[in-house]
A and B are shown apart, each in its own frame.
Chain A
Amino acid sequence: MAPPAAPGPVSVGIANLPNQRHKIVSRKGASYNIMVVGESGLGKTTFINTLFSALMRDYKRPEQRFAKQLDRTVQIDVVRADIEEKGFNVRLSVIDTPGFGDYANNTDCWVPIVQFLDEQHQHILNHETVPNRKTDDLRVHACLYFIQPTGHTLKPLDIEVMKHLCTRVNLIPVIAKADTITPADMLAFKDRIRDCISTHNIQVFTPAVHSEDEDATRRNTSILAAMPFSVIASENDVQVNGQTVRGRQYLWGVAEVENEAHCDFKKLRNLLIRTHMHDLITTTHDHHYETHRVAKLTASGRSDDDPALQARRGFEAKMKEEEAELRKKFTEQVRLEENRFRQWEQKLISERDRLNEDLDKQHSLVKQLEEELEEIIAARKR
């Protein structure tokens, strides 16, 4: 038989899978949840409004400040919006945390935030075993922590809160109101913050650096080098050299939002939306949600080498043994019976043979007698 011909390069169309995914994702749209955490007055609301070029949140009304809440808690405010760009829909939710760090005594002010994050993970976990799994997914995909531009280093409150947040959500530290710090001071400040973050083992979101595309690798390295991002936010347009740009107009100049030499807003926006949005969404599900799930399930007593499961396995083994034994016994019995039948058969056969023999003998005797009779008759006739 001739050997089969080696298969040549045949395109069956599996390379078309990314296109199919693209179509599915474009049709389904995405759900994106961003949380902003930081003391009031750091420009969080302005930043969110600038990020999506849309008025997402109203500013706090100053006239209402005298009717402030007296119970000194941190609230969780969720604002939803549906954003569409070139036919692609995003269901955006922005979660603000007013009251954080605003009081003289800020002990445990991070507890409501942590509770909120855990609740979202738990909500999805509970819905895993429910018949109708479609539910609102409010898991936070990116948490922007706004650092005050002191120029010194992180405050104890910052460190404590970031430690609690980094294990539950993708944490991105951001230096707010970056137009307060001169460039040289900013570099030193960023260094000190990075130092602080690594000393206290805070896991901030770090985008993967290496990718096949050289451009992407270069971009990712520059993003990584610029963390924590310094941010200037403004919704006002000002004129600079005849051009209209987003910026803040001072007596001594204009600080531009989208100018890379002034702040890292563009880098952060690219990270949040253009390049790493999918990454943020998937790490939230694959890493943070899984961490929560494992923690919750082991806490409730279930594990991979569960004693109940082990007992079950042992029982199953015993079952198998017993089954094998039964089978053996059965086959034994069958064999014995078969033997008995065979022997009986043999006996019958031998009996039959004996009887046949007897019959033959009788036959031959009869024949003999007949022959003798013939002879006698023949002899008489003569």
Chain B
Amino acid sequence: MASSGASFKSGGARRKATKKGLVFTVMIVGASGCGKSTFINTLCENPVILRKDHADAEKAAQLKTIGLAPTTVELDEDGLKLSLTVVDTPGFGDNINNEPAFEDILGYIEHQYEEILAQESRIKRNPRFQDNRVHVLLYFIQPSGHSLREMDIEFMRLLGARVNVIPVIGKADSMTPQELNAFKKRIMEDISHYKIPIYDFPYDEEEDDEETIEENNELRSLLPFSVIGSEDEVVISGRRVRCRQYPWGVVEVDNSKHCDFSKLRYMLLSSHLHDLKDITHDVFDDDDEQD
């Protein structure tokens, strides 16, 4: 499995990475109820994010502030240790007026860049300093079936300039295959119409090999990824399957015909991890430094 990152890593760097473990930060943003927390738990194969306290009816009407709390999980990907930091954003898009939320999230991302800058400018650097820069932001789109909403457009446009944004359709099991395809097409049309910058698997015609180009094209055609999350496992014909059970059928999370979850996971944690990190360090950070 050729990954665009493997070609970059030479022997020595790889050994170092294996020993120290890779560090990767993912931020998940989207309106409440899109399946973000379930997605994180499915991705990490562990109940990382605990269920919110929804039982309090009084709190339902109150103004919600965005809680940005990073959680770190140690994963093992094909022998490579990965220290994955996930930043969930509960409360985003829940209020009647959601415009203040944009500033909060943008502020958090910029703060991380500032910290790194401050750290690097020091004479005596802190060896245990944790790099919290957000490498990729997964933006969850509600499965309305129509097209992007105003909030989606504004937010992605604002943040696409500072971080890698990958649009994701949450709760994709609410759409039939035809609806899903039409929805994906319309979203991509919206993205190009409003000139929203997203991470669209760039490749270099000259440098990268054919396999990489093909892979990137395939992934690009799947944008935005449709995901279904589930923490429940059921045994179906002898194998343990993560799925959601409905009276009319069973939806499997890891079945690539049902949703793009497995491809997204592979892309995030294996094949394109380094590419995402590189872009964050080189492109976005550079912008910051020049300021």
Contacts and interface: CB of A to CB of B under 8 A. Distances in A.
Interface string B135-174: 0000000111111011100110000000000000001011
A153 B153 CA distance: 25
A259 B97 CA distance: 38
Contact of A104 (B54, B62, B150): B150
A16 B248 CA distance: 49
B52 interface: yes
A251 interface: yes
Interface stretch (B2-10, B77-85, B214-222, B239-247): B239-247
Interface in B210-263: 244-252, 257-258
Contacts of B151: 103-104
Interface string A255-273: 1100101100000000000
A200 interface: yes
Nearest to A66: B193
Contact of B33 (A102, A104, A152, A251): A152
A110 to B, nearest CB: 10
Question: Max chain B CB contacts within 10 Å: which of A150, A199, A249?
Answer: A150
Question: Max chain B CB contacts within 10 Å: which of A65, A104, A196?
Answer: A104
A254 B248 contact: yes
A66 B97 CA distance: 23
B79 to A, nearest CB: 34
Interface stretch (A177-185, A205-213, A296-304): A177-185
B54 A252 contact: no
A159 interface: yes
Given A41-B145, A249-B176, A251-B258, A160 B61 contact: yes
A155 interface: yes
Interface in B92-131: 94-99, 102
B283 interface: no
A160 B96 CA distance: 9
B60 A256 contact: no
Contact of B249 (A62, A180, A253): A253
Contact of B146 (A60, A179, A255, A259): A60
Contact of A106 (B97, B102, B174, B258): B97
B288 to A, nearest CB: 26
Interface in A142-156: 148-156
Interface in A206-249: 248-249
B61 A156 contact: yes
B57 A195 contact: yes
Interface string B167-211: 000010110110000000010001001000000000000000000
B99 A105 contact: yes
Contacts of B248: 179, 250, 252-256, 262
Contacts of B60: 153-156, 159, 196
B63 interface: yes
B236 to A, nearest CB: 11
A180 B142 CA distance: 12
Contact of B176 (A40, A42, A65, A250): A250
Contacts of B98: 104-106
A259 B34 CA distance: 26
Interface residues of A, number: 50
B58 interface: yes
A198 B252 CA distance: 37
Nearest to A194: B57
Contact of A200 (B55, B61, B143, B250): B61
Contact of A182 (B96, B146, B245): B245
Given A41-B144, A192-B55, A196-B60, A104 B154 contact: yes
B247 A261 contact: yes
A179 B94 contact: no
A159 B60 CA distance: 8
B61 A159 contact: yes
A319 interface: no
A250 B249 contact: yes
Contacts of A40: 144, 146, 149
A253 B257 contact: no
A107 interface: yes
Question: Max chain B CB contacts within 10 Å: which of A65, A198, A254?
Answer: A65
A157 interface: yes
A192 B59 CA distance: 12
B227 to A, nearest CB: 13
Contact of A255 (B94, B102, B246): B246
A102 B173 CA distance: 22
Given A104-B150, A255-B248, A156 B145 contact: no
A62 B146 contact: yes
Nearest to B190: A65
A252 B176 contact: no
Interface in A52-100: 60, 62, 65-66, 72
A42 B244 CA distance: 21
A199 B57 CA distance: 7
Contacts of A150: 32-34
A153 B58 CA distance: 11
A62 B187 CA distance: 11
A149 B186 contact: no
A62 B147 contact: yes
The 8 nearest A-B residue pairs measured at CB:
A41-B144, A150-B33, A253-B249, A252-B249, A253-B248, A199-B57, A180-B174, A196-B57
Interface of A: 39-42, 60, 62, 65-66, 72, 102-107, 148-157, 159-160, 177, 179-180, 182-183, 192, 195-196, 198-200, 248-256, 259, 261-262
16 contacts: A41-B146, A103-B149, A104-B154, A107-B97, A150-B32, A156-B64, A159-B60, A183-B247, A192-B57, A250-B251, A251-B258, A252-B251, A252-B252, A252-B258, A253-B248, A256-B248
